[in-house]
Amino acid sequence: MNVFELKKTLGYLGFMPFCFLTVTPWVLGGDIANCAIILLTLYSSIILSFLGGISWGWSDNSYSQNLNLIYGICFSLFSFLILVLAFFNSLLSLSLSFIGFNAFYYFESKRDILFDQKIEYKELRKNLTVLVSICFLVTIAYIVNPYS
């Protein structure tokens, strides 16, 4: 297995908890649904913090490397906000997760100088961001659903 195939496999394996925790409230409901929603926001904050950290490894010897590091820390701090809000307002924390994941994809596409050159990686990141965003929207739909 080449390195990209391993990245792809691990990326989709990392998506599986998002999928599982999104489906759980709809299937089981009740207290388990509330736990699944909190776990979803906690997991998303961990992953967003991890994504913020990958900007530290981007190869760039120009002035923008310092800015990339600052943005990366900001995404990690933003994910901490999501983590804290998960215990008080699930709807807000999921909405911020949705914004954070899409903002990071935009940030990565504009600031990683090799992003456009790595076509397969770019496609993988886009797919994973879209899938995770769908999970957030489906879970938000569960929360605002009057029949939940």
pLDDT string in tens for the chain (148-residue length): 788 889 899 999 999 999 999 999 999 989 999 999 999 999 999 999 999 988 877 766 665 777 888 888 999 999 999 999 999 999 999 999 999 999 999 988 887 777 778 888 889 999 999 999 999 999 999 999 978 6
Q: So what's the pLDDT on residue 128? A: 96
| pTM, two decimal places | 0.90
| Of the candidates 80, 110, 112, the residue with the CA atom closest to the CA atom of residue 97 | 80
